[in-house]
Structure 1
Amino acid sequence: MIKARLGRVWIGDGELVRIMGVVNLSPESFYKGSVRTSVDGVVKTADSMVKDGVDIIDLGGMSTAPYNRTLVSIDEELGRLAPVVKALKDAYPDLVLSIDTFRARVAEECLRLGADVINDVTGLKGDPDMAKVVADHGVSVIVMARERTPNRGLEPVDRVINALRESVDIALNSGISRDRIVIDPGIGFGPLSLDPVITGGEPIRGEYRHGDENYPWYSWDSILIMNTVKIRQELGLPILIGVSRKSFLERLIRRSAPPEDRLFASISVEAISVLMGADAIRTHNVHESRDAIRVGEALRLCLNKSPKECSRELIKLVQGTA
């Protein structure tokens, strides 16, 4: 059985597909509709997400989008996050809070204030102290697939699986319990050596951001989504998918569409991701994503089933006996 927990929320086999709502405290974030710059604004957004059925809220104090200049100081990142973590824990003591950071000092302070999960977009490879901080606090971690440098000799799915294995090994060797690890294939992210948030260099540009001319970045991301179940099975861990408003969607719909105009593409791919095996979806739009996730969850019951088996599963689901 593939199962783990994010805080008090179990994720994986036998569980509903979990919904992670994104709230960014970083004005530099690529989707401005997700940004809240006041504590009151964050609490109001959390109120709305809770009413819409969110399971986890992911807070970002610094944008980690690899295609923009977004680096801020540790003190600034902490200054944005700390008052919000405290306010949300006061307002919703049982709400699972995830912190989107790769910096150990930021994680340490947020965990001290009551955060439950660290969502590390470097897969524990960006800060050598991060894995120990997570282990010492006994909390959950989401590790993203990030190669240190491009491994051009392998296909995309194999490269992602290998990168995730490295991160899972780091976690386990540092004392993080396996049932507190969730994986993320890293839709929209490239190798760490090409990431300006990590290197301080220029933002990634061009079609072949993974170093392989067979795979422009939008086909790379699409391949990962369609192989969600393989990645999940190879690692034996629950998988979280985050596609909300990301740039590859603009290529797939084949028209110019800024992040504000990618909602329908986002929820379409979220439903497909669930159908392909996702255990959790990270979204900027909990209300809109919720129904798409539930549809994907229902149709997934029919995969590799006969028509009668499919019907029985859907009847049980609709009647509340699944």
Structure 2
Amino acid sequence: MTINCNGKLISLETPKIMGILNLTPDSFYDGGSYKNEQEILQQTEKMLADGAFCIDVGAYSSRPNAKDVSTKEELQRLMPVIELLQKEFPDIILSIDTFRSEIARKAIDNGAAIINDISGGSLDELMMKTVGELKVPYILMHMRGTPKTMQSLTQYDDLLQDMIYYFSNKVTEARSFGIHDIILDPGFGFAKTTSQNFELLKNLSLLNMLELPVLAGLSRKSMVYKTLEISANEALNGTSVLNTLALQQGAKLLRVHDVKEAKECIDLVAQL
């Protein structure tokens, strides 16, 4: 099980870590944390040193009820950072967290390697066509609606069955556009209640029937801190517990804010 990132074949037989770098001022946990080049470089260097295989850069907050950001503003936030990181870390693998095909194309043309689309192509009809033309790995997430509306769209006849049907159709569509490397993200917290998130985690291994790598994005999310009645700042221990459970269910990628602790989860689970 491998993905091709700018000519580098990355094996996912051993789970890998994506480090999160949010460039937005309003993300739920680290919004506004990295305000200048030095802070961005320091955080990126730390995540790479701690074991991240790639850095997932986002310039559009997807937290519930997040404000809309124009394409122009997303580009203004994103492109200088892509240039900065590649200059400082020439071998870096960058994943771009965007649902816009225009952003995807410009980011890949400027050296990024992966597109991470929270909408699975649902918010931009040109996204899958664009990714197919760019020949890059595509992270395809399950979500309903938009970040503004998703919390009102949590009614399912059968959550896991509906998700498998969704992914089956989306994968077929992606293949039709020539997308070869596909990663499935079940979208914890996106159009799902807390109880649905735990149901999904409990049954995450069912997604393995699609024979594609599964990404778990659980880092410091509300299913952790609301359940424990703490804040996102206090949710690292709970995140590690849920990451461990996801690994035991077959997750091949962990998308996290805290790379060192996620790497420890992977190393310990590997001994079982």
Please report the TM-score for the alignment, with normalisation by the length of structure 1.
0.77
Matched position secondary structure for 1:32 = coil
1:287 to 260, 263, 270: 260
Q: Aligned equivalents of 2:156 and 2:25: distance in 1?
A: 38
**Aligned position for 1:91:** 88
CA RMSD of aligned residues (A): 1.9
Q: Aligned equivalents of 1:151 and 1:46: distance in 2?
A: 35
Structure 2: 5+ residue stretches without partners: none
**Aligned position for 2:224:** 249
Taking a change above 3 Å as real, the CA distance of residues 230 and 88 of structure 1, as seen in their structure-2 partners, is same
Q: Aligned equivalents of 2:66 and 2:76: distance in 1?
A: 19
Q: 1:238 and 2:213 equivalent? A: yes
Q: Aligned equivalents of 1:290 and 1:138: distance in 2?
A: 29
Report the number of matched residues.
264
**Aligned position for 1:25:** 23
Letter in 2 for 1:181: I
> Where do 1:1-322 residues align within 5 Å?
3-5=1-3, 7=5, 8-12=8-12, 15-32=13-30, 35-65=33-63, 67-147=64-144, 154-177=157-180, 180-190=181-191, 210=192, 217-233=193-209, 235-253=210-228, 255=229, 257-299=230-272
Q: CA deviation at 1:153?
A: 5.9
Q: CA deviation at 1:187?
A: 0.4
Q: CA deviation at 1:245?
A: 0.7
Taking a change above 3 Å as real, the CA distance of residues 163 and 84 of structure 1, as seen in their structure-2 partners, is same
- Most deviating of 148-157 and 76-85: 148-157
Q: Aligned equivalents of 1:48 and 1:62: distance in 2?
A: 23
Q: Aligned equivalents of 1:111 and 1:4: distance in 2?
A: 19
Please report the TM-score for the alignment, with normalisation by the length of structure 2.
0.91
Q: What whole-Å deviation, never above 9, does each CA across 1:69-124 have from its counterpart, x for those lacking one? A: 23111111111110111111122222211000001111111111100000000011
Q: Aligned equivalents of 2:270 and 2:109: distance in 1?
A: 35
Q: Aligned equivalents of 2:235 and 2:160: distance in 1?
A: 25
Q: What whole-Å deviation, never above 9, does each CA across 1:128-161 have from its counterpart, x for those lacking one? A: 1111111111111100013469695631111111
Q: Aligned equivalents of 1:101 and 1:116: distance in 2?
A: 13
Q: What whole-Å deviation, never above 9, does each CA across 1:224-274 have from its counterpart, x for those lacking one? A: 1122211122x1100000000100112432x2x121111111111111111
Answer yes or no: is the 8 Å Cα contact 1:58–1:100 preserved in 2. yes
Q: CA deviation at 1:297?
A: 3.0
